[in-house]
Amino acid sequence: MLHKDLYAYLKDTAEITELFSGRIFHEWSPQATEKWPSLVFFLTSQSEIAEDMEEPGNEKIDQSNYQFDVYGRKSAKVTEVAKAFDGVFRNFVGTMGATRVQRIALGNISHLGEVVGDKQVRRVSMDYAIFHDA
């Protein structure tokens, strides 16, 4: 459920779609992408967590870990867009579609270069843990 709600949230949140001009992709971007920046995200792992299920009022929650990759041609621009995305995304608490998100935590950021087709591109890779209702 979260995955579909997350994709809709990314596509429907103006601050995010404006950063990427709508170039938001699940799992991979099209090979012929010539416009930048773009955002690619995918689920890396998921687990159930809870403080103590025997205590009244404690709800079971899931932790879904996602990797978000910001691609672009120029390092400074990619870093700027990644920081702006993080500022919007990490502060989200509330409802994404049918999923109640309790917290989003940034775990790791990597700055990388890679070749896409015949072009050298920059990538900022961010790992997030999303804590949400099961």
State which residues form the domain around 121: 2-48+61-133
Exposure class string for 11-28: b at 16+ Cβ within 10 A, else e:
eebeebeebbeebbbeee
**Residue 56, in any domain of the structure:** no
Tell me the backbone φ, ψ of residue 71, rounded to 5 degrees: -110, 145
| pTM (predicted TM-score) | 0.86
Q: Which CATH number goes with the domain that contains 42?
A: 3.30.70.1700
The number of folded domains in the chain is 1
Residue 54 lies in a domain: no
Per-chain mean pLDDT for the chain:
88
Query: Does 90 fall in a domain?
Result: yes
- Report pLDDT digits (tens) over 64-114: 999 999 999 888 999 999 999 999 999 899 999 999 999 999 999 999 887
Q: Compute the distance between CA of residue 26 and CA of residue 41 in angstroms, rounded to an integer.
A: 5
